[in-house]
Structure 1
Amino acid sequence: MALQLSLRQARELPELRFEPTRKRVRASSGGQVFADSRDAVLVWEPRRVVPQYAFPDDDIRATLSPAGPSEVAERPVSLGPARVLDPSTPFGAHSTEGAALTLQLDGIVLEGAGFRPSDPDLAGYVIVDFAAFDEWREEDEVIVAHPRDPFHRVDVRRGSRHVHIEADSVTLADTKAPRLVFETSLPPRFYLPPSDVDFSRLRESSRESACAYKGRARYWTAADGGRELAWAYEEPLPDAAEIAGYVAFFDEHVDVTLDGERLERPVTPWS
């Protein structure tokens, strides 16, 4: 019987998973390199949807010590049958057995920024909190948001399909020159030329976010200041260069008509 790979991956989500990487990986804070390794591994704790980097003890330049009580979450966290730990979940909410650690180097103290899992296959490794460090590099390239998943793809395709966007029966955008983004485990997104977007119906938001694959995004809300409706990457990462300045809408919050057919609103974490 044939195997649908996405379903197989979903079945393995509750497991502790890891994957070696051939990249040189560095983590820095306050101008100090806390870890520098050619033998790092990517680790997905149970139900975490994005990985964290784990370094061999020998490649960590910081002193390791048990984290204080305030930095130690109950372990393992209680997970319902459908709950996942998305990137907004704090690092301290570990879903596997292990010990929380503090990293200290030249007077810089990162409380609870390390975690040594109890699993024997990861003996001698420490998982570190991506957000605790000022800068991460894979080889000499800076990475943002979280480590890139080697099993995650973002494909940008130029299109000529007719995309019409409405909210409360008011047209927000209309184009026949979209750029479609197909990203693993997410619905397709339509990125539209800014010339085909009615910005008088939108209000720029002060919020920004970072994506490990596309870069830093800015947002727009409805004109009345309601919920966020759209975003754009003005200076995307090289792999997403073709969507620079193009505007995408939350299909979860607007009505999308594609080639004359109204699409159902997808159900995602942004719904």
Structure 2
Amino acid sequence: MALTMLGHMFSALPELRAQPTQKRIRVFAGDVLVADTTRAMLVWEPRRIVAQYAVPLADLRVPYESFVGGTPEEMASVRMGDGPPVLQPGNFRLHTTPGAELTIGTAAGAGFRPNEPQLADYAVLDWNAFDAWLEEDDRLFAHPRDPFHRVDVRRSSRSVRISADGAVLAESSTPTLLFETGLPTRYYFRREDVAADLVPTGTTTACAYKGEASYYSVGSLTDIAWTYEKPLWDCPGIEGLVAFFTERQVDVDLDGVRLERPVTPWS
């Protein structure tokens, strides 16, 4: 049987993984330049699916020193479809490979030196400890972008219906489909194709590839739908459209066939 590429990627989850990038990476704390490098590495610690940037210690523009802090609590594991359990993003100081913590400038515990020869002179940096990250001259959003992660937006003529307890929430024969590595297909609808009464909740989330999402409730289904009013440059085709969490309490009929509910961290 042929090995799927996604399965191959999941098989490496227990390992410390690294990938060099040719992009210039700059990191700021307020208006203070923390790092400026053209030799950055993307680093995935074991059981992590979101990478962090590592920069050469020589390219740090602020002092660094060893940091010794308490051991952070273990994070919950989640599943990505049929893949193995992975750690939820966040909690940078929960390291899953041996190494030493660093204080970067005034940010205690915001750096980590894995015990790995390839990364011996590098510090992995905590995304949330700093205020701005630039790839070349473009500001990054939410977390580092994975070069092996794709988001494709396609217009479609397939028939899609979203319902809950038999009530149609949205239906279209001209939906926009979003295909994202490791996640189920997302079905985006024009506002006129949404029959449900969407109530804004004030909830927002950030995606490195799509931008900031705003959420809606439908009846008792809280934060069941979302929209990107101003998506990032990769995904202009979903601007203002509405999608639903198909892994929650809604059903999807695609071309007249009821789909199984997918399993994701948002199930």
Cα distance in 1 for partners of 2:235, 2:253 equals 24
Cα distance in 1 for partners of 2:15, 2:222 equals 35
Q: Taking CA–CA contacts closer than 8 Å with sequence separation of 6 or more, which of the two structures ends up with the larger relative contact order?
A: 2
Per-residue CA deviation, residues 231-252 of structure 1 (Å, 9 max, x unaligned), is: 1111111110111011110001
Cα distance in 2 for partners of 1:267, 1:227 equals 18
Contact in 2 for aligned 1:193/1:246 (Cα 8 Å): yes
Q: 1:210 corresponds to which residue?
A: 206
Count of residues in correspondence between the two structures: 262
Secondary structure of 2:27 counterpart: strand
Secondary structure of 2:58 counterpart: helix
Contact in 2 for aligned 1:77/1:95 (Cα 8 Å): no
Q: Bigger CA drift: 116-125 or 59-68?
A: 59-68
Aligned-pair CA distance for 1:203: 1.6
Aligned-pair CA distance for 1:221: 1.6
The reply on whether 1:187 has 2:179 as its aligned counterpart is no
Aligned-pair CA distance for 1:101: 0.9
Aligned residue runs from structure 1 range 147-162, under 5 A: 147-162=144-159
**Structure 1 length-normalised TM:** 0.91
RMSD: 2.0
The reply on whether 1:123 has 2:120 as its aligned counterpart is yes
The reply on whether 1:143 has 2:115 as its aligned counterpart is no
Secondary structure of 1:227 counterpart: strand
Per-residue CA deviation, residues 62-82 of structure 1 (Å, 9 max, x unaligned), is: 111122424x548x9998994
Aligned-pair CA distance for 1:100: 0.9
Cα distance in 2 for partners of 1:160, 1:58 equals 53
Contact in 2 for aligned 1:156/1:180 (Cα 8 Å): yes
Contact in 1 for aligned 2:53/2:125 (Cα 8 Å): yes
Q: Which runs of 5+ in 2 are unaligned?
A: none
Cα distance in 1 for partners of 2:77, 2:144 equals 23
**Structure 2 length-normalised TM:** 0.93
Q: Bigger CA drift: 10-19 or 161-170?
A: 161-170
Aligned-pair CA distance for 1:111: 1.4
Cα distance in 1 for partners of 2:161, 2:44 equals 38
The reply on whether 1:247 has 2:242 as its aligned counterpart is yes
Aligned-pair CA distance for 1:115: 0.5
Distance 1:122 1:28, change over 3 A: same
Equivalent residue letter for 1:239? D
Contact in 2 for aligned 1:73/1:94 (Cα 8 Å): no
Secondary structure of 1:248 counterpart: strand
Equivalent residue letter for 1:234? E
Aligned residue runs from structure 1 range 215-254, under 5 A: 215-224=211-220, 226-253=221-248, 254=250
Cα distance in 2 for partners of 1:96, 1:192 equals 43
Aligned residue runs from structure 1 range 12-27, under 5 A: 12-27=12-27
Percent identity over paired residues: 50
Cα distance in 2 for partners of 1:160, 1:203 equals 28
